Chain A
Amino acid sequence: MRIPGAALFSSRYRLLQKRLHPITKEWGLTFYVLRHSKLAVIGGFIALAFIIIALFGSLFAPYDPISANIQDRFQPPSASHPLGTDTMGRDVMSRMLAGAQHSIKAGLIVLAIAVPLGVLLGGIAGLFGGWVDEVIMRITDMFLAFPSLVLAMAFSAALGPSLFNAMIALSIVWWPMYARLVRGQALAVRETSYVEAARSRGASNFHIMFKHILPNCLSPILVTLTLDMGWVITAAASLSFLGFGAQPPIPEWGRMVSDGRIYMLRAWWMSVFPGLGIMFVVLGFNLLGDGIRDSLDPKLRRLTEVTWKREKTSSSSTD
């Protein structure tokens, strides 16, 4: 049933919604703030370079990353092999270029499974409350009671060691954090007056979930997501290092560190460079994540908004 005077009601509601606008309304400002943070730009470039290498790296690889070339084994870094060669004479740089795709694949697949699952469950828990909330959160507690690496090891052992199974295992242990995050946010948003206003207009749970709760969760999710990308890459590499992930001859970086381990004295470059690669990429995602977090900080946004608007008006007047 429509209440008379709904127009008045809905204008008030719009006003409230505008005042508490989530970042979806201001992508331009977010990007502007981000662009003006030196570290975030560096992080962004590292991440971008990594993605490009992952996509096209195997095309640039000067040598075959898989097939052995025994007479060239244990070559130290030199002009022809910038990062040296490994126990089978394979060029470490070519292997790293070809192996980048496995790390990014791991990161993307794990987050693509874990985040929607966690967001959905957390959103449901926060929105409905009561016993639904209780059940979902106790399950979340159960998963969080394990060290994530151990649980992922158990899952990947159960599924059988392969890179794909390691990704599935990591997704299974990764969603609870997002469920917690979104639930907390949902609880806070549920009590706001604009959700109350939406409810009184007869909005469905579905509408509230997708129009109010999710947009408000977007900024913390985005930050966590970027920071987690580095984390998942490390975790996948750790699993491979322990022998649960990528199997030889796949040139996964964690696996390469592990393969070079026993030859550390003879050929340190076999382990050191792939590890440095992981560290660099994770660093890039961390810098980018920090930058995104800062750019979503309301205080900094309001400070920068003035210059942003000024620049925008001046550029549109010159056009």
Chain B
Amino acid sequence: MKLSTYILRRAAMLVPVLLGVLVLIFVIAYVIPADPARAWAGPRARAEQVEALRERYHLDDPLHIQIYTYLKNVILHFDLGVSPTTGRPVRDDLKAFFPATFELALCAFLLAIALGIPLGVISALRRNRAADHFSRVVALTGVSTPLFWLALVLQFLFYFKLGWLPAMGRSTIEITRYTGFMLIDSVLNWNWSAFGDAAIHMILPAATLAFYSMGYLVRITRGSMLEVLEAEYVVTAKAKGLPRRVVIYRHALKNAIIPPLTVLGVEFGWLLGGTVLLEAIFAWPGMGRYAAGSIVMVDLPAVVGYTLIVALIMLLCNLVVDIMYSVIDPRIRVGGKRR
């Protein structure tokens, strides 16, 4: 199978899964015991007001009609409905909140990769020595620490006690928004103080968010590297008298990198989910906080919109990983199905 055919085929598989995600979330919303219209209208609303809301959001329609109407609006007008709690179109809300979350998740993601993979490799190369023990402790604490607690403790230490880093929100310096990504916009504005401010606000949330993924990556990279270092082709390469550097980079690392690579897609999705916890603590004006608030308010259009976006990103990540995987290891494409 050619690479392009493979990509197209995998991309086409996204459609039914996304559709399934939509159905699933509608089913959850449908079986919900609470009455959403009553929650939206507030405790003092009159019965007619609740009824009007119910009418307006087609809450009394059967499930399949609701899904059909929603899909029609999404596909024809790219319309995700109007949020009953903010009173604004969900599309606009998500557009406003998405960059902050994505920027945070991306920074954490890059941080986790930049620290996790090298630490894992070093740990494997220096097995049972000080460096190995150190990175194993880091990795183990990383995967064991509850994210929300770490966020509170770091906030307490670096903001309240030491006063080194800001603990809340994003940069407040006014700059022209091009992309919504603070770090990129400030560079585009050629405003370095804004860039510094954006970066300094990013440190605590991104470091907290990255901690778990980093630990996980260290563990996976270390395990896979150790396995590869014992493989026969590495032994052969060493026996041939190749320099250690060449053996490590060209023979070992290239093969050892596949397992960490495959978890990256899932990991990014996990980071996006983790923002729901973190944004509440760091007052980060992003999609996660919006989602958490919407879930509490039974704001169905907002929740459905959010889950669709997140599910789409996660599926795309997995697609990218699969493509990368098949570029590195063409057997997967040829075999057709991965097991």
Contacts and interface: CB of A to CB of B under 8 A. Distances in A.
Nearest to B23: A142
A145 B21 contact: yes
Contacts of A160: 33-34
Interface residues of A, number: 49
Contacts of B272: 147
A158 B31 contact: yes
B144 A279 contact: yes
Contacts of A230: 144
A147 B33 contact: no
Given A157-B295, A271-B149, A275-B153, A150 B144 contact: no
Contact of A145 (B28, B31, B153, B315): B315
Contacts of A188: 339
A145 B314 contact: yes
Contact of A146 (B29, B150, B277, B307): B307
Contact of A138 (B20, B147, B314): B20
Contacts of B34: 158, 160
The 6 residue pairs across chains A and B that have the minimum distance between CB atoms: A147-B273, A275-B149, A142-B20, A283-B144, A282-B144, A145-B311
B32 interface: yes
Interface residues of B, number: 50
Contacts of A148: 270, 273
A277 B232 CA distance: 44
A280 B276 CA distance: 24
A295 interface: no
Interface of A: 138-139, 141-151, 153-155, 157-160, 184, 187-188, 230, 234, 237-238, 241-243, 254, 257-258, 261, 264-265, 268, 271-272, 274-276, 278-280, 282-283, 286-287
B228 interface: no
B156 interface: yes
B31 A238 contact: no
Nearest to A268: B156
Given A160-B33, A238-B277, A264 B152 contact: yes
B17 A142 contact: yes
Contact of B292 (A143, A146, A153, A283): A153
Nearest to B288: A150
18 contacts: A139-B20, A142-B24, A145-B311, A145-B315, A147-B310, A148-B270, A149-B277, A153-B291, A154-B303, A158-B28, A159-B33, A234-B146, A238-B148, A272-B153, A279-B149, A280-B144, A282-B146, A286-B143
Contacts of A147: 269-270, 272-274, 276, 310, 314
B192 interface: no
B261 interface: no
Interface in B115-163: 140-141, 143-150, 152-153, 155-156, 160
